[in-house]
Amino acid sequence: MKPIRILLQTTIPFVENDWHVGRFSLLARELAASSGAGRPIEVTARDRASLNDDPVLSTIDRSGFDEIWIFGVDIGNGLTPGEREALRRVRARRGGLRAARD
């Protein structure tokens, strides 16, 4: 059975004493240990790689992810216009999107 693929993504590059994706490791483990409608769940957790268009976020609509969970933990501008457009295309193909901002 094909797994549900979830991306947990922060809006900032890794910084040890900041809200990097490692701070969401319990969530990632809990999701991966559960099942969605009888399907296994595969979780990928990553921080932003670039302050410009992130190579994953800016092409997320061409990925195999079923759901994207964005954690807006930055104090700046959040997502770039290209990343926002790619996320709109994910929604257009009926992909799931969850967003949280502190």
Q: Is residue 43 part of a domain?
A: yes
Q: Is 102 contained in some domain? A: no
SS (H, E, C) 52-95: CCCCCHHHHHHCCCCEEEEEECCCCCCCCHHHHHHHHHHHHCCC
Considering the entire predicted model, what is its pTM? 0.91
Q: Considering the domain boundaries, does residue 3 fall inside one?
A: yes
Our CA dihedral for 11, 15, 18, 20, rounded to 10 degrees, sits at 50
Is residue 5 included in any domain, yes or no? yes
Domain count, the chain: 1
Contacts with 35 (C-beta within 8 Å, 6 or more apart), sequence order: 41
Q: What is the pLDDT of residues 19-63, one digit of tens each?
A: 899 999 999 999 999 877 789 999 999 999 988 999 999 999 999
97 falls within a domain:
no
- Is residue 95 situated within a structural domain? no
The domain of 29 spans: 1-50
Task: Report pLDDT digits (tens) over 54-101.
Answer: 999 999 999 999 999 999 998 777 899 999 999 999 999 999 999 998
Q: In the structure encoding, which two tokens stand for residue 50, read together?
A: 């670039």
In a domain, 77, yes or no: no
In a domain, 46, yes or no: yes
